[in-house]
Structure 1
Amino acid sequence: MEEIKDPYPYKEELIEYVIKKLGFTQEEFDQIMSAPLKTYHDYPTYYSIIKACKKPLKIAAAMHLIPKILFEKYAKD
């Protein structure tokens, strides 16, 4: 765990290449990189509805009404 706390060593040329390819200025890139981390919970999704429909999704997947991967990806624990 101590290794994770250390910043990852990188080449400055790589950062400059990425900034150029994305079409950002250095200030825009710095602003994005210093922004707080976000997860999918920070954006509107149907995740809560899918979790609430876990059992019907499992039954529908077992009956081949929906792809099994849909259940495995979104509703399986």
Structure 2
Amino acid sequence: MRSEDTEFVGGPLDGRVLPIMVSLFNGVPKVYRVPVPAHGDEPARTLLYDRAKVYNAKGRMRWRYEYRAPEDAVR
């Protein structure tokens, strides 16, 4: 499988570009889950990022992930 550099917007990964594995048709997963281990008094949790379309200046579509706030998160 190949990967594509994908931008993250919002949340702790804001501004980062990470390689995400893509399917045969250049699709990335609809939801990207980032497990965060427990640290001190904070319990373990999972950060959720939803896939969103963006278009560059030439009109080509690309994927990026947008942070889903914890109150909107479904466990």
Using structure 1 for the length normalisation, give the TM-score.
0.17
Q: Which has the higher strand share?
A: 2
* Higher Rg of the two aligned structures: 1
Q: Which has the higher helix share?
A: 1
Using structure 2 for the length normalisation, give the TM-score.
0.18
Q: Identify which of structures 1 and 2 has the higher relative contact order when contacts are C-alpha pairs closer than 8 Å and 6+ apart.
A: 2
